[in-house]
A and B are shown apart, each in its own frame.
Chain A
Amino acid sequence: MSLQQLSERVREHFAAGFVKAVEWRGDLAITVTRDTLHEVAQFLRDDPAMDFDYIVHVSSVDWPDDEERFEVVYEFYSIRKRHRIRLKTRVPESDCVVDSLTDLWKGADFMEREVYDMMGIRFRRHPDLRRILMPDDYTEGYPLRKDFPLRGKGWRDTFEFLDETTR
């Protein structure tokens, strides 16, 4: 099935939740609304023509200037059909909650935890939504957000750096 047919098939089944499909450099990325994300994902996994049984990665992108600030990105692959798809959805900062896909792909568990840890997006019905790479008691925010400075926040900012010229 070509990428064009793949996106057409998703559009047919989810006309209301379908936002856009972009095909670039041989990758197909489909954006859907947040409410239909779980349904679309289930369709991608269970539909025999789609058959996306393999979860590749879960990622997130921060677009601070947009109204719906965060983008959650899922990438799926079909081992039998040998095709790939990227499923995306947008959430606003005030309510950054997405339905978890851990009930469909068990591998999404750690990947979604990482997205929560790094970008602060919460996943509804996730079995164990805790920080994974940062310490459990880390309170200085979410490191991969664009407003998080490269050198970190909190106590590191209070260091008094020696001024080389005065020595």
Chain B
Amino acid sequence: MAFEDQRTTVYKVDPAHPESETLPTLRTEELLLNMGPQHPSTHGVLKVILELEGERLVKSTPVMGFLHRGVEKLAEEGTYHQFIPHTDRLDYVCAMYNNFAYCRAVEKLMNITVPDRAEYLRTIVAEVQRIIGHQFWLGTQALDIGAMTVFFYCFRDREILLDWFDELCGARLTTSWYRIGGVERDFTPSLFAKLKQFLDYFPSKIDEYVVFLEKNRIWLARTKGVAVISAEDAVNFGLSGPTLRGSGVDYDLRKAEPYSAYPKCEFSVPLGKNGDTYDRYWIRVMELYESVKIVKQCLEQIQDGPIMADVPSVTLPPKERVFTNLESMIQQFKLFSQGFDAPPGEIYCGTEAHKGELGFYIVSTGGGKPYRLKIRAPSFIHMGAFDHMSRGYMIADAITLFGTYDIVMGECDR
């Protein structure tokens, strides 16, 4: 054999030391590589121990918890109202949807029906938040894979919406606009006008993002057929959101268990076929169009009315009354400091955030504080499938995987 000949010419066996014959053979042991915690494409502080054979991933072990702040423990020490700002800090990219999911869970516990106008406002803001989340995801995923221009285009349009949030509630990222039983304040005419302007402007911009990627050979090579997961496995792992729908599983809580104003809007849920990174990308881009559709319908259907449920023992009084009316001030003070008396029982309420099913499991034993509050964070559960989905791919595909989950460590580690 040619290889044998070459070897004997290069390494001659010393007759005095026959064991030296074994020396020149190639070493093929696995290499351990620490990726992170300070790696820019891990989207936070996440470490993954990669076992490599050449450049192939044999096994990957996520090491999490660098951002663990004990949010579930903190929830047990505060009242229900006091926990709302904590939920902003879970998925800090999409704070509104966390508020929404939490408020819905407490409303289910307290059996509160939210007035119509508030439901529409909530749906509009939630879908705007979904657009922001997907823009953020698309920009960073493309940046990680090597298409930098998309990042700037996405973030340019994201700024418009963040400024809109700023006008709505005074904060860009950690918003806390949702309240138990309704929302904190109504839209001003200026907000309506700006949103309508954005909706006219935005769809052509989505086409613009797509142009940069659809014919980009690097993007296609690094997403098509990468990190494939079958529908059966995706369900078995408990994946949710676009990560699950990329495999063709029709599971969207907005359709499966309709809530808020979603049942009154017409929209479709895009489904993938191959379960690869490209399909998940395509689904998120399609969801941008769907979100625009939902917001437009909500703006058409919205009617005047109250923005807060009228349950004085639970919901907050209007802010302007708090500053002028003694009883309202006392009510607000008592609700925040002592909380309201929740009935004993336990509920689980899941909401379709843009990453997946964000759920809150609340156990109450009565009184103003939750006895136990568990957050079902989609990022955390998606990381459980990381090892399964990364096996056999190249080391650079690990980056693609972080991106395709749309992982945010604040939510993953809580």
Query: Interface digits, B127-166 against A, CB 8 Å rule (1 contact, 0 not)?
Result: 0000000000000000000000000000000000000000
Q: Is B170 an interface residue (CB 8 A)?
A: no
Selecting from B192-200, B231-239, B292-300, the interface stretch reads B231-239
Query: Interface digits, A117-132 against B, CB 8 Å rule (1 contact, 0 not)?
Result: 0100000000000011
Q: Assuming A56-B348, A57-B361, A133-B413, is B237 touching A107 (CB within 8 A)? A: yes
Docked-complex contact B345 and A56, CB < 8 angstroms: no
Docked-complex contact A107 and B68, CB < 8 angstroms: no
Query: Interface digits, B357-387 against A, CB 8 Å rule (1 contact, 0 not)?
Result: 1010101000000011010100011011100
Q: Is A17 an interface residue (CB 8 A)?
A: no
Q: Is A156 an interface residue (CB 8 A)?
A: no
Q: Is B108 an interface residue (CB 8 A)?
A: yes
Residue among A25, A79, A107, A134 making CB contact with B251, cutoff 8 Å: A79
Residues of B within 8 A of A143 (CB): 70, 73
Docked-complex contact A61 and B371, CB < 8 angstroms: yes
Q: Is A55 an interface residue (CB 8 A)?
A: yes
Residues of A within 8 A of B347 (CB): 24-25, 27
Residue among A27, A73, A82, A106 making CB contact with B237, cutoff 8 Å: A106
Residue of B at shortest CB range from A146? Answer: B76
Give the docked Cα–Cα distance between A131 and B62 (Å). 12
Residue among B108, B111, B384 making CB contact with A111, cutoff 8 Å: B384
Q: Is B72 an interface residue (CB 8 A)?
A: yes
Q: Is B64 an interface residue (CB 8 A)?
A: yes
Q: Is A100 an interface residue (CB 8 A)?
A: no
Q: Is B388 an interface residue (CB 8 A)?
A: yes
Docked-complex contact B350 and A54, CB < 8 angstroms: no
Q: Which residues in window 88-121 of A have CB below 8 A to B?
A: 105-111, 114, 118
Task: Give the Cβ gap from B364 to chain A, nearest Cβ, in Å.
Answer: 11
Give the docked Cα–Cα distance between A29 and B345 (Å). 11
Q: Is A68 an interface residue (CB 8 A)?
A: no
Residue of B at shortest CB range from A54? Answer: B235
Q: Is A48 an interface residue (CB 8 A)?
A: no
User: How many chain-B residues does the 8 Å CB contact rule pick out?
Assistant: 43
Q: Is B77 an interface residue (CB 8 A)?
A: yes
Task: Give the Cβ gap from B265 to chain A, nearest Cβ, in Å.
Answer: 20
Docked-complex contact A114 and B380, CB < 8 angstroms: yes
Task: Give the Cβ gap from B124 to chain A, nearest Cβ, in Å.
Answer: 26
Q: Is A150 an interface residue (CB 8 A)?
A: yes
Q: Most A CB atoms within 10 A — which of B108, B236, B350, B388?
A: B236
Give the docked Cα–Cα distance between A134 and B380 (Å). 14
Q: Assuming A79-B251, A105-B238, A133-B64, is B388 touching A86 (CB within 8 A)? A: no
Residue among A55, A86, A108, A118 making CB contact with B72, cutoff 8 Å: A118
Residue among B70, B77, B383, B414 making CB contact with A110, cutoff 8 Å: B383
Residues of B within 8 A of A108 (CB): 238
Q: Assuming A27-B346, A54-B238, A86-B348, is B73 touching A107 (CB within 8 A)? A: no
Docked-complex contact B348 and A107, CB < 8 angstroms: no
Q: Is B203 an interface residue (CB 8 A)?
A: no
Q: Is B318 an interface residue (CB 8 A)?
A: no
Give the docked Cα–Cα distance between A143 and B413 (Å). 14
Docked-complex contact A107 and B64, CB < 8 angstroms: no
Q: Which residues in window 228-256 of B have CB below 8 A to A?
A: 233, 235-239, 249-251, 256
Docked-complex contact A133 and B65, CB < 8 angstroms: yes
Residue among B68, B74, B256 making CB contact with A82, cutoff 8 Å: B256
Residues of B within 8 A of A82 (CB): 256-257
Docked-complex contact A56 and B350, CB < 8 angstroms: yes
Docked-complex contact A25 and B111, CB < 8 angstroms: yes
Give the docked Cα–Cα distance between A109 and B381 (Å). 9
Docked-complex contact B372 and A110, CB < 8 angstroms: no
Q: Is B398 an interface residue (CB 8 A)?
A: no
Task: Give the Cβ gap from A43 to chain B, nearest Cβ, in Å.
Answer: 17
Residue of A at shortest CB range from B239? Answer: A107
Q: Assuming A53-B236, A133-B64, A150-B77, is B413 touching A110 (CB within 8 A)? A: no
Give the docked Cα–Cα distance between A148 and B73 (Å). 10
Given contacts A56-B350, A118-B72, A134-B68, 16 further A-B contacts (CB under 8 A): A24-B346, A25-B108, A25-B345, A53-B236, A56-B348, A56-B357, A56-B359, A75-B348, A75-B361, A79-B250, A105-B237, A106-B237, A106-B388, A110-B383, A132-B64, A144-B372
5 interchain pairs, CB-CB under 8 A = A24-B345, A56-B348, A79-B235, A84-B348, A106-B233
Residues of chain B having any CB pair with chain A under 8 Å: 64-65, 68, 70, 72-74, 77, 108-109, 111, 233, 235-239, 249-251, 256-257, 345-348, 350, 357, 359, 361, 363, 371-372, 374, 376, 380-381, 383-385, 388, 413-414
Residues of chain A having any CB pair with chain B under 8 Å: 24-27, 29, 53-57, 59, 61-62, 73, 75, 79, 82, 84, 86, 105-111, 114, 118, 131-135, 143-144, 148, 150
Nearest 6 interchain pairs by C-beta: A107-B238, A110-B384, A133-B65, A59-B374, A57-B376, A107-B237
